[in-house]
A = this chain, B = another copy of it.
């Protein structure tokens, strides 16, 4: 086998997430910074970031959060993160822009004993990209969740995607992270995973609603309104 993949630190392993080795890092998802996001609708970013928190909880991943000077214009962390991942550990920084430059943050990652990082950060160009590149250089397998991060233009997002891929980071979208963690519908919490997907692609909620109604109609032998006299 010759697989010339250019991912970093996998050493021939299939470049996918191993849930047992993974930590989720949610960096600088703050109310002020969210006002600067323009590569996707802010509401989409907000749903995706919340979905990451939910799936980390379902999959029992450690979660580490941090914020960039939340006392200033950058604003507070959006509350959904800790609401949906109540076990998350918050690490305060001292002004460092690259979270990886903060020793407490790196120490918290190391303390998990895990070597696979799933990273979302706003703004993507900086708060996601800098720690991702740093962690790859320090030997971690890094999965960057580009659409659970947000930045100031579509072009900035595209440039950042090219840069992190060039550095050996594996790019992911939010749905792919969910599915690599879930792995199968043959599990007891399947319904909770289905609800996560409604956060990632909201038409899934309509599908569930319509499906349920169609089954109810069949099961209850309900008549079509248009056939009533």
Cβ B209 vs Cβ A6 within 8 A: no
Identify A185's interface contact among B95, B180, B215, CB under 8 A.
Answer: B95
Within A82-98, the residues touching B (CB, 8 Å) are 92-98
Binds B, one of A19-27, A55-63, A106-114, A127-135: A127-135
B-side contacts of A214, CB under 8 Å: 75, 210-211, 214-215, 218
Contact of A71 among B31, B147, B174, B224 (CB under 8 A): B224
Q: Residue on B with the closest CB to A167? A: B5
Smallest CB gap from A218: residue in B: B218
The answer to whether B183 touches A96, judged by C-beta atoms less than 8 angstroms apart, is: yes
Complex contacts, A42 vs chain B, CB 8 Å: 202-203, 206
Whether the Cβ atoms of B217 and A217 lie closer than 8 Å is no
Q: Establish whether residues B139 and A75, one from each chain, have CB atoms under 8 Å apart when the complex forms.
A: no
Extra inter-chain contacts (13) besides given A32-B210, A46-B202, A74-B207, CB under 8 Å: A3-B168, A5-B8, A43-B43, A44-B153, A71-B224, A71-B225, A73-B208, A94-B229, A147-B159, A155-B157, A156-B175, A159-B173, A166-B170
Q: Which 4 A-B pairs have the closest CB atoms?
A: A95-B226, A95-B186, A218-B218, A185-B226
* A→B interface (CB under 8 Å): 1-9, 11, 14-16, 31-32, 34-36, 38-44, 46, 67-76, 78-79, 92-98, 101, 123, 125-126, 129-130, 133-134, 136-139, 146-147, 151-153, 155-163, 165-168, 170-176, 179-180, 182-187, 190, 194, 200-204, 206-215, 217-219, 222-229
